Amino acid sequence: MLFYLVAAIVLILDQTTKWIVRTHMELGEILPSWSPHMRFEYYENSGAAFSSFQGYGKYFAIVAVVFVAVILYYRRQGAIRGPLLEAASGFLVGGAVGNGIDRVIYHQVTDFLVFGSRGGIMNLADLAINAGGILILVYLLLDYFRPKTARGRL
């Protein structure tokens, strides 16, 4: 259940914030934030991370579908269990679906979060994917250092 809850929350927040940006900001517009280390900048990315592979975003929609199918398959097989992996996979799937929706409907992904003076521009789906990756690393580290009799129970 945690998997579906996290994925749904990520997807709803991601699509809502992207809709707000698309309807209330002009492309290229920059807004300051409460933090000197972050700003809002409306950007449409037709590629992948760090604006690489511009114009090939539609292929990443296919990758997202395959990725989500693999996660669902492994969940069904029981390979993804425990709250840490459930949350991690929920973040990953929610982020992949959020960006996948953008790629299918708009043929590009709406980005608007810039961290630092030279930071990359991203959105909530990207942050969720990063959070999912970090949670998987935490799981792997905890599992590695856990006694062998208790492994796989996180």
Tell me the catalytic residues.
Answer: 111, 126
What count of Cα atoms within 13 Å lies in the side-chain half-sphere of residue 49? Answer: 8
Q: What is the residue whose two structure tokens read 């199918």?
A: 69
Q: What is the 3-state secondary structure (H, E, C) of 81-124?
A: CCHHHHHHHHHHHHHHHHHHHHHHHHCCEEEEEEECCCCCEECH
Dihedral sign for Cα atoms in the order 6, 8, 9, 15: positive
Distance from chain centroid for Cα 66: 15
148: which DSSP letter? G
